[in-house]
């Protein structure tokens, strides 16, 4: 086979107009390189000549998640490839989940999913809210609301949480679950990697789960394309190409591996895959899961079905 050269859907990235009061986690006093405006122009500068036909904009812990999602929709109005699908945030354990979803749906035409981070490791800082736990009955009730509306749930969690997540998510079989960042393994830690493998298989056994391979370079100290190739191959084998998608995690991941470099890694890792398998990994799965349709303004001839 050959390196993939077809259309790409970037299934996970962030953009924001930075104000300290809107994005508290960026901590400019710590010298964060992310404490700046990151818009469509910066995205395309990083992407270079990659044939990206659409992107999935993921919420970034804004203080006002509705305003953030509306801003994403506004960017899409000016650039039809960016934010073709928008994954916004609501607290899923809130008693007014239905009303919040109504508000998002009315304001954000490209709303295609919800994220409420549950990722946590003992003794470490976490982005998860206190109520954002799969063992929280109110949170699970929120997931059932998503399922009833056909909205996928973007699941950001860590490797030690995978096995218990699989047990919890069996209770919501009608919900499409998108596992972010390859399930959060620490690939330099053998015990963590072993737990990740077991948990990944447990989640893959649920037919309603799919996975995004992103932010993987920062999980393997001293990474190279050669050392990441078997990891990527294992994930693809576990879920299959039609349940796996590639993503950049721009701009958060660029500190470890720039956007263009991440996709070069994915291309190298899938050089032996069939043309159809490559197409699913780089575009087809994301188009299907996030319900992205070709528009008359799209110039790409070989748009995946």
DSSP 132-152: --TT-HHHHHHHHHHHHHT--
Q: Which two tokens stand for residue 19?
A: 């104000």
Residue 302 lies in a domain: no
Contact 113, 154 (CB under 8 A): yes
CA 229, 231, 235 angle in degrees (round to 5)?
115
pLDDT confidence of residue 76:
97
State the Cα–Cα distance between residues 183 and 190, nearest whole angstrom. 15
Considering only CA atoms, which of 47, 4, 3 is closest in space to residue 284?
4
Exposure class string for 278-305: b at 16+ Cβ within 10 A, else e? bbbbbbbbbbbbbebeeeeeeeeeebbe
| Residue whose entry in the numeric block shows the structure tokens 């699989």 | 166
CATH of the domain at 90: 3.20.20.140
| Domain total of the chain | 1
Residue 244 lies in a domain: yes
State the Cα–Cα distance between residues 160 and 168, nearest whole angstrom. 14
Residue 303 lies in a domain: no
Burial grade of 256 (CB within 10 A; 0-12, 13-18, 19 or more)? middle
pLDDT confidence of residue 33:
84
State the Cα–Cα distance between residues 104 and 151, nearest whole angstrom. 12
pTM of the model: 0.96
Sheet holding 52-58, edge to edge: 8-13, 52-58, 85-88, 111-115, 153-155, 177-179, 209-213, 244-246
CA 21, 120, 236 angle in degrees (round to 5)?
110
Distance of CA 277 to the CA centre of its chain: 20
pLDDT confidence of residue 29:
60
| Residue whose entry in the numeric block shows the structure tokens 């294992």 | 234
Residue 106 lies in a domain: yes
pLDDT confidence of residue 30:
54
Residue 305 lies in a domain: no
Contact 268, 229 (CB under 8 A): yes
Contacts of 261 (CB under 8 A, 6+ apart): 217
Regions in the chain scoring below 70 on pLDDT: 27-32, 296, 299-305
What residue numbers bound the domain in which 155 lies? 8-289
State the Cα–Cα distance between residues 232 and 182, nearest whole angstrom. 9
Convert the pLDDT of each residue in 92-130 to its tens digit.
Answer: 999 999 999 999 999 999 999 999 999 999 999 999 999
Residue 42 lies in a domain: yes
| Residue whose entry in the numeric block shows the structure tokens 């736990």 | 133
Residue 155 lies in a domain: yes
Considering only CA atoms, which of 57, 72, 44 is closest in space to residue 260?
44
Convert the pLDDT of each residue in 32-44 to its tens digit.
Answer: 689 899 999 999 9
pLDDT confidence of residue 304:
67
Residue 296 lies in a domain: no
């Amino acid at each position: 086979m050959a390196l993939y050269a077809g259309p790409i859907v970037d299934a996970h990235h962030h953009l924001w107009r930075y104000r300290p009061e809107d994005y508290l986690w960026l901590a400019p006093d710590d010298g964060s390189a992310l404490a700046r405006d990151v818009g469509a122009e910066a995205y395309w500068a990083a992407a270079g000549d990659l044939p990206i036909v659409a992107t999935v904009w993921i919420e970034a812990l804004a203080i006002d998640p509705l305003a953030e999602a509306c801003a994403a929709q506004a960017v899409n109005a000016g650039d039809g490839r960016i934010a073709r699908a928008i994954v916004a945030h609501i607290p899923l354990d809130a008693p007014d989940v239905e009303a919040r979803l109504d508000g998002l749906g009315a304001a954000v035409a490209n709303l295609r999913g919800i994220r409420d981070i549950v990722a946590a490791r003992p003794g470490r800082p976490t982005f998860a809210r206190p109520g954002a736990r799969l063992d929280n009955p109110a949170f699970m009730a929120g997931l059932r609301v998503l399922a009833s509306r056909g909205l996928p749930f973007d699941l950001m969690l860590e490797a030690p949480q995978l096995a218990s997540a699989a047990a919890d998510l069996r209770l919501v079989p009608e919900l499409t679950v998108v596992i972010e960042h390859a399930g959060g393994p620490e690939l330099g830690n053998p015990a963590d990697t072993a737990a990740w493998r077991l948990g990944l298989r447990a989640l893959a056994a649920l037919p309603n789960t799919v996975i995004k391979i992103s932010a993987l370079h920062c999980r393997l100290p001293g990474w190279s394309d050669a050392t990441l190739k078997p990891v990527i191959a294992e994930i693809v084998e576990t879920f299959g190409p039609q349940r796996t998608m590639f993503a950049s995690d721009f701009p958060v991941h660029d500190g470890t591996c720039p956007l263009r470099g991440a996709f070069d890694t994915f291309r190298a890792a899938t050089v032996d895959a069939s043309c159809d398998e490559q197409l699913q990994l780089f575009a087809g799965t994301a188009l299907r899961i996030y319900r992205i349709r070709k528009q008359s303004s799209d110039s790409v001839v070989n748009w995946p079905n």
